[in-house]
């Protein structure tokens, strides 16, 4: 799309003739098409409306806007499908840049929503398929003086592009800082010591200041000059205009005093303002470098989520397996997932049985047993047994990809207070220019001598200190950090508005396991039958559980290790019984470990004494029975301890905290019931 085409697209108003060809979802019969066609035809300014049921496309011509057409279709009960894309954008220097891009892209035909995150340097745009492409959006951004990159594949490419852009920005800022900062420090030292050291007084001169200030003004400060030219070329203003105007005013005024001393009075010519331009450029470059460093950390949550996706998968081809890249998997492929590996696709278990840890996606701390016919999600961890999966969703369709997309879109949304800041930023720069001009005129007309010098300093001061950057950066950065921090803790936040509304919460409902508790069961009690010791029971149980990645098994092995029991024997064979427990061969003997019901059924009617059951119930512990060769050896009492920060939360918050309580495990206790594996 050329520059003229972009301008024409943006300048089209409701009074111009337009044509929209939009796909419509949900139509199933001729009456549906007639309903949509009638509604579109009744739009004020519509000259023609036609709906083709076979192609499911609606055509509207006339003096109407895309928003009017979309709202009309939605009002009839149908939808126009859109696709949301995220494009990295470079070249922005302040919130005004972000607002300008947002305004230009949002006015393009086929764009239903556009949001620019200055902190994250991304453009999130929703497009109507067939009306405009990502390349068309990128072209519009480019013609505005910025750079938008269209990723060729998924979030991994997007992250790589964003990281490269930020690294390049930091390198460029570092090079310019290495010029500006030493000269700025030299100016500060000379200004503070010249009246006390005669040598500096003799060496330091306005001409030396000119030599030192010139590379700072036109090399270190070049991004501000280039940015202001981009803004003025598109008849807009931003922070670069303020900085460029202020520093050029100080530099130009000082240069004029050196070149044309007779034009100014002696009082004015006695002082130049090169140091003001140098210090301002150095400080703002330093601020931008720190800002770029902070923005580089905002993608941490997305990186962690994308990191849950394996890069390769073992595809079953006949009787052999072959590692293939994730992007080459197709729906229907058979995937082999070994214990301890992450699941690469959404699918259904075709063979095998295992416990699957989906806590990174669902927040549920306890692994869930999965067997033939059960569904599993990408990004989950296969805890114990070998699984063969039949892929049902791959690539961008997987649950993990959707979670990543939701988190990215949430980071790109704007809270109400941020939209207010954007509106203020849009008029802030012109207002500052007006105030600086009035300040210059006021000091020149009414100020003390030397009036011209004081007027220049006053105007430059207004231009520089009135920077809207913090106004436009603080809120989006807070939103990105908040949404990202929540994602890393297993909390998915839908949009920025939800964060802002959290201040009015009065009741908060929390899940217990893995939220209020650690999700890592520990052994609290060990009871042994006559002839067995506590160490004997732990040794038998831990030996049977060696290599098992179930949280209860891990807790039992850790308990044995913590008590110095080192003579553990690896089981020669194990078999998991989902929902019941484990059967293992240890040292030639059969060991059953699990719920009392499971052990009684598998070990020939072995019973846990009622007194032990009551004791562990009173302690709010789960009962894990241990039997060897159809004889009870002992029982373990396990519990899921409360997180330390959960107690701090309960004591510090003024909100009412509700939870789904278990009769045996109120969350305020340190113990909790944990289902046996």
Same domain, 440 and 410: yes
Answer for the pair 74, 128: CB distance below 8 angstroms, yes or no.
Answer: no
For residues 175 and 254, membership in a common domain is answered with yes
Q: Is the dihedral of CA 234, 236, 238, 241 positive or negative?
A: positive
Closest CA to 524 of 617, 611, 644, 600: 617
CA distance 225 to 513: 56
Last residue of one domain, picked from the residues 504, 528, 557? 504
Tell me whether residue 148 is in a domain: no
**271 shares a domain with 245:** yes
Do residues 381 and 404 both lie within one domain? no
Q: What percent of the chain has pLDDT over 70?
A: 76
pLDDT tens digits, one per residue of 285-311: 887 787 677 656 556 666 666 777 788
Q: Write down which residue in 333, 363, 393 finishes a domain.
A: 393
Count other Cβ atoms within 10 Å, centred on residue 331.
14
Which residue is listed with tokens 């004081």? 454
* Residue 156 located in a structural domain: no
Query: Domain with 59 in it: what CATH number?
Result: 3.30.70.100
The pTM of this model reads 0.50
Domain count, the chain: 5
CB 51 within 8 A of CB 58: yes
CATH of the domain at 327: 2.70.150.10
Q: Is the pLDDT reported for residue 54 higher than 70?
A: no
Q: Give per-residue pLDDT as tens, 26-53.
A: 665 666 777 788 888 888 888 888 887 6
In a domain, 606, yes or no: yes
Q: Which of 639, 654, 671 is the endpoint of a domain?
A: 639
Domain assignment present for residue 476? The answer is yes
Residue 522 domain-assigned (yes or no): yes
Judge whether residue 254 has pLDDT over 80: yes
| 462 lies in some domain | yes
In a domain, 120, yes or no: no
If asked whether residues 193 and 239 sit together in one domain, one would say: yes
Same domain for 426 and 533, yes or no, is: no
Kindly state whether residues 529 and 485 are assigned to the same domain: no
Q: Is 19 helix (H, G, I), strand (E, B) or coil?
A: strand
Q: What is the pLDDT of residues 423-460, one digit of tens each?
A: 676 677 788 888 989 998 998 888 887 777 778 777 87
Coil, strand or helix: which one is 52?
strand
Is 321 in the same domain as 303? no
Which residues are annotated as catalytic? 511
Range of the domain at 585: 516-639
Residue 207 has pLDDT above 50, yes or no: yes
Cα dist. 182→275, 278, 373, 456 in Å? 13, 10, 68, 26
Q: What are the tens digits of pLDDT across the range 78-137?
A: 778 777 888 888 888 777 788 888 888 988 878 888 888 776 788 888 888 767 788 888
Question: pLDDT tens-digit profile of 628-641?
Answer: 988 899 999 998 88
Inside any domain, residue 560:
yes
Say yes or no: 535 and 633 in one domain. Answer: yes
Domain check: are 363 and 405 in the same one? no
Q: Say yes or no to pLDDT of 662 above 70.
A: no
430 and 304 in a common domain: yes
633 and 522, same domain (yes or no):
yes
């Amino acid at each position: 799309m050329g520059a003229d085409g972009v301008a024409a697209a943006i300048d089209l108003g409701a009074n111009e003739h337009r044509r929209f060809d939009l796909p419509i979802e949900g139509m199933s019969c001729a009456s549906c098409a007639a309903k949509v066609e009638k509604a579109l035809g009744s739009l004020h300014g519509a000259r023609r409306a036609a709906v083709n049921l076979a192609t499911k496309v609606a055509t509207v011509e006339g003096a109407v806007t895309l928003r009017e057409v979309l709202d009309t279709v939605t009002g009839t009960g149908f939808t126009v499908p859109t696709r949301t894309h995220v494009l990295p954008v470079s070249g922005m220097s302040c919130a005004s840049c972000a607002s300008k891009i947002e305004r230009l892209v949002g006015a393009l035909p086929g764009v239903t929503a556009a949001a620019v995150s200055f902190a994250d340097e991304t453009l999130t745009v929703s497009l109507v398929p067939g009306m405009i492409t990502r390349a068309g959006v990128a072209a519009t951004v480019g013609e505005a003086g910025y750079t938008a990159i269209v990723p060729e594949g998924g979030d991994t490419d997007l992250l790589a592009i964003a990281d490269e852009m930020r690294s390049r920005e930091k390198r460029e800022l570092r090079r310019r800082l290495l010029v500006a900062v030493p000269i700025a420090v030299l100016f500060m030292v000379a200004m503070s010591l010249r009246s006390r050291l005669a040598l500096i007084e003799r060496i330091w001169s306005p001409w030396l200041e000119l030599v030192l200030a010139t590379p700072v003004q036109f090399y270190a400060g070049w991004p501000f000059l280039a940015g202001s030219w981009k803004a003025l070329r598109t008849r807009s203003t931003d922070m670069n205009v303020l900085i460029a105007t202020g520093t050029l005013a100080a530099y130009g005024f000082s240069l004029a005093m050196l070149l044309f001393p007779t034009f100014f009075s002696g009082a004015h010519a006695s002082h130049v303002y090169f140091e003001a331009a140098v210090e301002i450029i150095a400080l703002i470059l330093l601020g931008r470098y720190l800002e770029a460093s902070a923005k580089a950390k905002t993608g941490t949550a997305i990186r962690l989520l994308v990191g849950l996706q394996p890069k390769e998968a073992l595809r079953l081809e006949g009787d052999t397996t072959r590692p293939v890249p994730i992007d080459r998997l197709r729906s229907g492929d058979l995937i082999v997932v070994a214990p301890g590996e992450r699941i690469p696709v959404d699918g259904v278990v075709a063979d095998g049985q295992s416990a699957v840890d989906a806590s990174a996606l669902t927040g549920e701390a306890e692994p869930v047993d999965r067997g033939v016919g059960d569904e599993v999600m990408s990004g989950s961890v296969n805890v114990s047994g070998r699984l063969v999966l039949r892929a049902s969703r791959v690539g961008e369709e997987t649950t993990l990809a959707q979670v990543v997309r939701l988190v990215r879109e949430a980071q790109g949304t704007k809270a109400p207070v941020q939209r207010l800041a954007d509106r203020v930023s849009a008029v802030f720069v012109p207002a500052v220019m007006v105030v600086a001009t009035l300040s210059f005129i006021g000091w020149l007309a009414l100020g003390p001598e030397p009036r011209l010098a004081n007027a220049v300093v006053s105007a430059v001061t207004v231009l520089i200190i009135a920077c809207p950057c913090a106004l436009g950066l603080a809120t989006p950065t807070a939103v990105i950090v908040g949404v990202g921090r929540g994602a890393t803790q297993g909390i998915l936040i839908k949009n920025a508005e939800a964060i802002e509304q959290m201040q009015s919460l009065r009741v908060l409902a929390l899940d217990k396991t893995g939220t209020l508790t650690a999700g890592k069961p520990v052994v609290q009690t060990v009871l042994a039958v006559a002839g067995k010791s506590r160490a004997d029971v732990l040794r038998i149980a831990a030996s049977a559980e060696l290599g098992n990645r179930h949280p209860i098994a891990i807790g039992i092995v850790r308990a044995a290790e913590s008590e110095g029991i080192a003579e553990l024997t690896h089981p020669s064979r194990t078999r998991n019984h989902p929902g019941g427990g484990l059967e293992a061969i240890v040292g030639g003997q059969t060991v059953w470990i699990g719920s009392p019901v499971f052990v009684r059924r598998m070990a020939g009617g072995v019973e846990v004494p009622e007194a032990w059951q009551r004791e562990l119930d009173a302690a709010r512990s789960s009962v894990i029975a241990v039997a060897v060769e159809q004889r009870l050896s002992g029982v373990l009492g396990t519990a899921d301890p409360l997180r330390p920060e959960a107690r701090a939360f309960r004591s510090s918050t003024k909100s009412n905290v509700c939870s789904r309580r278990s009769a045996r495990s109120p969350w305020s206790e340190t113990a909790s019931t944990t289902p046996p594996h």
